[in-house]
Structure 1
């Protein structure tokens, strides 16, 4: 018998000073058995860091036609394609053609994530952003995960301050292009 997804809940106090976004979120996140805690934590942070009207999680690792997180406008049109992890060049090419904006959040070494894209055809590659965190930040946050999580996330001047289940962590939010 197949193991089903594990549901994690996050009560989030979000204060993104850089974008002027302040909100309280309640997220129900399904973690597929093949998904690591680090990937799920990166997915939750990507959701928070890109939070705007119309944002949502896709069906996750089982969905090959959608990113981990996406933003749609009121008509249902895709505005932002938000990948998590290390997508291949073909997927980025496809995403960049479909969405107004494409961004990748990774919990891995960004240089190693971007290396396979070199010399590959990626539509509007100079407009795609790759975001990462300080080494060890995602692993430290993933180690704190519970089924029910209380989280405060503050972002100011590209610095993240995360309180997760009573433990405080911080990281820079690093950004680089895809080209």
Structure 2
């Protein structure tokens, strides 16, 4: 018998001073049995960093390179496509062709520099691609916040992120590996 995804309820109070975005979000998202708490929290972090009325979690987390978090537009296109992990370049090519902006949030400790070294040159051609690294220490700290019912206050200022629940707070700073080309 297959294990079912666990439903996570998250109340986010986001104060993003960098983008002048201040809003509360009531989210419900699925955590697949194979998904770690750390990865779940990275998905919530990415939501907070890109929060908007259009941003939503994809229904399918098949891992086949599709957007896991995205902002579809009213014309049937995709304004923002977000993927997590150390993504294959062919999936990023597909995403770059289909979306206005693509963001990768990569994590994995010592394997990230190896992945980046192998893919950096190829990824430079995608002008609408941004690649962010979340350090191993940050990933572990985020994982410690995981719960089935989350109530988080998130502040973003000058690239630094503070995430707090009733008992714990975490400070982190995602590292930009590749930015959009203007």
Give TM-score scaled by structure 1 length: 0.90
Length, aligned pairs only: 178
Structure 1 gap ranges (5+): none
CA distance 1:94–1:10, shift in 2 (3 Å) = same
Equivalent residue, structure 2, for 1:105: 105
1:115 and 2:117 equivalent? Answer: yes
1:111-162 deviations in Å (ceiling 9; x for gaps): 2332331454x58424411112343112112122111011011000001111
Can you give the 5+ residue segments of structure 2 that lack an aligned partner in the other structure? none
Residue number in structure 1 paired with 2:64? 64
1:75 correspondence with 2:75: yes
2:129 is matched with which residue?
128
Once superposed, which parts of structure 1, at least 4 consecutive aligned residues long, lie more than 4 Å away? none
Does the 8 A contact of 2:4 with 2:32 survive in 1?
yes
Task: Please give the root-mean-square deviation of Cα atoms over the aligned residues, in Å.
Answer: 2.1
Relative to structure 2, which stretch is displaced further, 51-60 or 110-119? Answer: 110-119
Aligned to 1:46: 46
CA contact (8 A) 2:65 2:91 kept: no
The residue number in structure 2 matching 1:166 is: 167
The alignment partner of 1:100 has SS state of strand
Contact 2:66 2:91 (8 Å CA) reproduced? no
Q: Deviations over 1:76-122 (max 9, x none)?
A: 311111111111000001110111111111232442332331454x5
TM-score by length of 2: 0.88
Alignment of 1:78-93 (within 5 A): 78-93=78-93
